[in-house]
Structure 1
Amino acid sequence: MSNQAALRSDYVYFEEITTRWMDNDVYGHVNNVVYYSYFDTITNNFLIKKGGLDIQDSEVIGYIVKSECNYVAGISYPDKIFGAFRVNRIGNSSVEYGLAIFKEEQVNACAYGSMTHVFVNRHTEQPTKISGQLLEALQSVLIES
């Protein structure tokens, strides 16, 4: 996505995220570390709802191995925001997500970035091939490069 801000039209899946009073820092805006929590929330909501991931009992779990966030414009409680989600790349056992945070009705993202999951066997922690419902869900939000 280079150095330009992300646009709402760059993403496929959206969910409202509730900002909380505790998300604000002493400067009156959402602290930078909270954006990663928002990214994690939208990713896991998608994986559970669409990918069929059972976080308690699934044989396959995902580990984040890389993440980044670019901050463009501040948000603060009680802003109404939306998390945006897509898949940038799918490998054998890994997937790179594209994520962004938008204020309601805004076209340009307040923040955008990526996270990479490697899916592993819960017991052996060895990489495992992405397949089945999870693969189908990820492919449904894969963007064309």
Structure 2
Amino acid sequence: MPTRWADNDQYGHVNNVTYYSYFDTAVNGWLMRATGTDITALPALGVVAQTACRFHGSVSFPDRLQVGLRISRLGNSSITYDLAIFRETDAGLELAATGDFVHVYVDAQTRKPVPIPDVIREAATELVTE
């Protein structure tokens, strides 16, 4: 994942709120690739109910990033993702941030919690760790 010019703040590094955008992009991009589905067209939507980020190092434009993703909890209507953002360097990867991201699936019309759609659950099972 590339950083963008607009990601930097006045202090010359990627602004903290942008890391949440990286998390969102990584999770939803993976879901779309893993399911082969337009996840926005499903009758149930994954809405973000909780997210957290811990910073370990600084990144700035034009850094390139890699985002690691696993699932630490696969519930009936929610999925907890654990993420790690790494900055690519000549020497390898440097840990920049870790965090978690919780999707709760809700009916697209009523916004009430519903079971995780089968196509999502099937893909998610492959990333579950214990």
- Per the normalisation by structure 1, the TM-score is 0.83
- Quick one: which of 49, 54, 77 aligns to 1:70? 54
* Cα RMSD (Å): 1.3
Q: Retained in 1: the 8 A contact 2:44–2:117?
A: no
Q: Deviations over 1:73-124 (max 9, x none)?
A: 0000001111111111011000100011101231x52101001110011011
Gaps of 5+ in 1: 1-16
Please say if residues 81 and 102 of structure 1, whose CA atoms lie closer than 8 Å, have aligned partners that are also in contact: yes
Matches within 5 A, 1:1-145: 17-104=1-88, 105-106=92-93, 108-144=94-130
What is the SS of the residue equivalent to 1:78? Answer: coil
Q: 1:29 to 1:84 in 2, by over 3 A?
A: same
Point out 4+ residue stretches in structure 1 off by more than 3 angstroms.
none
Q: TM-score, normalised by structure 2?
A: 0.92
Q: Distance in 1 between matches of 2:41 and 2:19?
A: 27
Q: CA deviation digits over 1:27-84, x for unaligned, max 9?
A: 1110000000000000000111113442442111011111100001000000111111
Residue identity opposite 2:27 in structure 1: T
What is the percent sequence identity of the aligned residues?
Answer: 42
Aligned length, in residue pairs: 127
Give 2:42's aligned amino acid: S
Whole-Å Cα distance in 2 between the matches of residues 100 and 71 of structure 1? 10
Is there any run of 5+ residues in structure 2 with no aligned partner, and where? none
